[in-house]
Amino acid sequence: MTVKLTLSVPPKFKKTATMLSKRRKKSISALVVELLEREAAKEKARAVREQKDAMLAEVQVLAEQTDELVRRIPNLSHPAAPIGGEDDARDVKLGATPIPQFDFPPLDHVELAQRHDLIDFESGAKIAGAGFYFLKNEAVLLDLALQRYALEVLLEEGFTPAVTPDLARDEILQGTGFVPRGPETQVYSIENSDLNLVGTAEITLGGMLAGEIIEAERLPIKLCGISHCFRTEAGAAGRASRGLYRVHQFTKVEMFAFTEADQSDAMHEELCRIECRLFDGLGIPYRVIDTATGDLGASAYRKFDLEAWMPGRGEAGEYGEVTSTSNCTDYQARRLAIRTKGKGEKGTRFVHTLNGTAIAISRALIAVMENYQQADGSIIVPQVLRPWVGKERIG
């Protein structure tokens, strides 16, 4: 038997149920609208992010292009520097040693090296190509003696010695004003890395304090660095580049200084004086020239070159550059973010940087061998080098 029950809803409850049903429908509709609005907002935010990322990428490209253009702008030049090109350089002074007057036809350093078995260019070329070489016998002793001699002088002059890395990152080369990559570079770069063989310890010494704020009381800071130097020397050729004069690898003792802006001109004169002291001590004839503006590198505000007399160079002897010293003012410091600040001072300011070659071994060897040769083909060892060479004469 089936029993049917019929429930009767009182009128007052029917009204309440109807109201609840309408509210539920309204609530669901509002929720749907809210969800749709939320998705629209997400889509809009996503579009804004994509637009922001695209704009940032564009800004990055523009920043890189701007940076590349800015890096092409060279330093200003000193108002006293001669205006013009290579031939417009101005003579500043002559060294203490007069040009030797030989009563025999002088040999060049390549012929002297062959006579005394001092340099092996053929084996160097076999191993690494033209422009490389082996120093042998007394040439090795002269190399080390020149380094020690330079260090002794620089220690007396208050420099802190260092042996620097032979490699540096792209950003350090760029910061010091060198072009690490591209068709115009003279730099050997390491493939699949941002490292390069340095052409001078100026790069590594300058990079030592990159990104730092130096206490003003520490300035000036004077460093000297020993490093191997590597240069492609693209396009160099001719008798003037014969032998050791223009090679791809050599050892160099470099001077570097960080100073306040008002100290840099005086420091530049000091570095030039030290270079003169070194070559006067060696007894090598030389002249100092004030380099003309058109022959300055990008970073140099002013540059003095010391050119040693080389009896075997050219037809009857010529001067050849053996050292240079440059005041780079704040050109390198801006790119390397090197600043200074005094105690109690607000804000920072850029330092000035200067560099100068103490001894570039390859060219110093040319000057020593050619100026100290004798009629019998032997070579006198300069007095200041004898403690380290251990003899007075080669041959």
Residues labelled catalytic: 231, 246, 321, 324, 363
Reference 379, options 390, 394, 358; nearest CA is 394
- SS3 assignment, position 20: helix
Q: What is the DSSP string of 91-129?
A: EEEE-SSPPP--SS-PPPHHHHHHHHT-EEHHHHHHHH-
Please give the helix or strand (H or E) that residue 19 lies within, else none. helix 11-71
- Residue 81: CB atoms within 10 A of its CB come to 22
Reference 146, options 29, 2, 282; nearest CA is 282
Distance of CA 194 to the CA centre of its chain: 14
Reference 200, options 227, 178, 175, 176; nearest CA is 227
Q: What is d(CA 277, CA 228) in angstroms, rounded to the nearest whole number?
A: 23
